[in-house]
Amino acid sequence: MKSPISLQKRLGLGLTLGMTLLWLGATVGAWLVVQHELNEAFDSALEETAQRILPLAVLEISNREAPRTAQHVATLKMHKEYLTYLVRDAEGQILMQSHDANPKIFNEHPSEGFSTTQKYRLYGASALRNTLFIEIAEPLGHRREAAREALLALLLPLLALIPISLLGTWLFVRLSLRSVLAYRRAVEARGVGDLSPISVARLPAEIDPLADAVNRLLERLRKALEAERSFTANSAHELRTPLAATLAQIQRLRQEAPQGPLRTRAAKIEDSLRELARLSEKLMQLAKAEGGGLLSEAPQDLIPLLAHGVDEWNRSSGQRIRLQLPTEASVYCAIDPDAFGILLRNLIENALKYGAADQPVEVSLTEQALLRVVNGGPVVPAPVLQRLTERFVRGSSEASGTGLGLAIAKTIAQGVKARMTLASPATGRADGFEVTVQFLCVPSA
Ligand SMILES: Nc1ncnc2c1ncn2[C@@H]1O[C@H](COP(=O)(O)OP(=O)(O)OP(=O)(O)O)[C@@H](O)[C@H]1O
Ligand SMILES: [Mg+2]
């Protein structure tokens, strides 16, 4: 299965990437404009310089005794020239040049206006009816450097902006998704069978309808389960009276029937009816175990509940049960006394029914709220043991039963957040069967 994509990661990366691209586009646009403006400024400076030098050159040349000889303009102080110029006549003969000027970089024949060679930007102007030309050269490297620095100045902030934007988006999305995470935690924290609506304050508008839909679904599920449970409980309850009446009738019939096949048949019907009554009783217990209300509001002391339950069984089973209780302590647990009674009844009933008849059944409760019911008898194989808590699953015993007892006990244990485990052989023995239920409650002295 593909792992789900994190919304936070997606938004963080997507927004940052989108913003970076837009920023890059804007930077390139701004850079092109800046480059154009720079070129204009440089060109105008070049033109201005040529126009300034030209009249001076004309004056100087016309004042010479031999005007056609080339002359280097002397400098006051030796320096490296940034702008160099040549003054030539129409045939291209040099009449005057700046001291650093290299005639090779100029056009062969003087021309007017702007032109660009590989390394220089040139500007030419003429005087005296196109008989005298000045050409001035500026190296392109300077312009390129200015353009490069402008680009760098525009790009550098982007380097800092990318991590800041990533972090900012990540934090902002995390903050915005806080209520969604709270919703997730609320769903995860649900106990088994908790179908009450999930409410989380201030969910985003996009998620809110989803939460509503989930709540409606939970409500429908709860109603369906409740309907199923109440149907089971009601039918079992409704069956009780007619079953008891039929049982009484059949008992009378058996007693009144003469010895022979009729009496045997009546006895068989009576047995079947008892089975049916037991099944209806177990179904009622299961419906109760699956319904809510297994946790009591006020904590109950398990010790008197356990003592009373065991006492009842001992009276009907000939004192086969040995009870061990923590001395001078109470074990308070938030469990409904009826539910505890049903759980205990099923475990003890099993221990008496399937345990070795010549061995006692040991029932104990520790201060840490660990209930143990142990009986003797043959070891139950592990694969069978694992499935015994499923509904209608029975072991290899000949004794009659419906296969619901351990399923009821397990459902109650889950409902009160207790942990029920089966073991065979019993702990510290080579044979027998043991059921332990660890309740989650605080022991108090
Ligand atoms: N204390 C025990 N010792 C040995 N085997 C047991 C014990 N408790 C349960 N079992 C085995 O587990 C099976 C399932 O028990 P469970 O209580 O769920 O159903 P049941 O006793 O058969 O029917 P009922 O619904 O009447 O209780 C039993 O049939 C039995 O084989
Ligand atoms: Mg049973």
Domain parsing of the chain, residue ranges? 7-163, 208-287, 294-444
pLDDT of residue 66: 66
Q: Which of 282, 350, 390 to mutate to test the pocket of ligand 1 (most atoms within 8 A of CB)?
A: 350
CA end-to-end span of the chain: 52
**What architecture is the 208-287 domain classified under in CATH?**
Orthogonal Bundle (1.10)
Give the helix/strand (H/E) hosting 373.
strand 370-375
pLDDT of residue 362: 96
Give the helix/strand (H/E) hosting 434.
strand 433-438
Question: Cα of 367 to ligand 2 centre, how many Å?
Answer: 27
Give the integer Cα–Cα distance in Å for 388 and 421.
11
Nearest CA-CA partner of 95 in 127, 133, 128, 44: 133
Q: DSSP 3-state assignment of 94?
A: strand
**Ligand 1 atom with the shortest distance to the CA of 406:** 18
Backbone angles phi, psi at 259, to 5 degrees: -55, 135
Question: Cα of 230 to ligand 2 centre, how many Å?
Answer: 23
Q: How far is the CA of 87 from the CAs of 81, 220, 282, 319, in angstroms?
A: 16, 100, 121, 135
Instruction: Give the strand pairing for 361-365 and 321-324.
Output: parallel
Contact between 360 and 321 under an 8 Å Cβ cutoff? The reply is: yes
User: Residue ranges of the chain with pLDDT lower than 50?
Assistant: 443, 445
- The burial class, CB within 10 Å (0-12 / 13-18 / 19+), for 349 is middle
Give the integer Cα–Cα distance in Å for 384 and 393.
9
**What type of residue sits at position 14?**
G
377: Cβ below 6 Å to ligand 1? yes
CATH class of 7-163: alpha beta
Which residue lies with its CA nearest to atom 31 of ligand 1? 395
Q: Which residues surround ligand 2, an ion (CB under 5 A)?
A: 350, 405
- The burial class, CB within 10 Å (0-12 / 13-18 / 19+), for 315 is exposed
Question: Cα of 400 to ligand 2 centre, how many Å?
Answer: 9
Question: Cα of 385 to ligand 2 centre, how many Å?
Answer: 14
**Ligand 1 atom with the shortest distance to the CA of 282:** 25
Nearest CA-CA partner of 322 in 371, 374, 357, 247: 374
Question: Cα of 302 to ligand 2 centre, how many Å?
Answer: 22
285: Cβ below 6 Å to ligand 1? no
Give the integer Cα–Cα distance in Å for 92 and 88.
5
pLDDT of residue 62: 82
Which residue lies with its CA nearest to atom 6 of ligand 1? 354
List, as one string, the DSSP characters of 232-287: HHHHHHHHHHHHHHHHHHHHHHHHHSPTTHHHHHHHHHHHHHHHHHHHHHHHHHHH
405: Cβ below 6 Å to ligand 1? yes
pLDDT of residue 47: 93
Question: Cα of 439 to ligand 1 centre, how many Å?
Answer: 22
pLDDT of residue 442: 59
Give the integer Cα–Cα distance in Å for 437 and 371.
5
Give the integer Cα–Cα distance in Å for 137 and 130.
19
pLDDT of residue 371: 96
pLDDT of residue 96: 86
> Can you tell me which residue has the tokens 């015993």?
397
Give the integer Cα–Cα distance in Å for 393 and 359.
25
Contact between 302 and 333 under an 8 Å Cβ cutoff? The reply is: yes
Bridge partners of residue 321, in order along the sequence? 361
What are the strands, taking DSSP E only, across 294-375? Answer: 300-301, 321-324, 330-333, 361-365, 370-375
Give the integer Cα–Cα distance in Å for 124 and 111.
6
pLDDT of residue 445: 45
Q: DSSP 3-state assignment of 386?
A: helix
Sign of the alpha-carbon dihedral angle for 174, 180, 182, 185: negative
Give the integer Cα–Cα distance in Å for 278 and 401.
8
> Right CATH number for 294-444 from 3.40.50.1820, 3.40.50.2300, 3.30.565.10, 3.30.1540.10?
3.30.565.10
Which residue lies with its CA nearest to atom 17 of ligand 1? 405
395: Cβ below 6 Å to ligand 1? yes
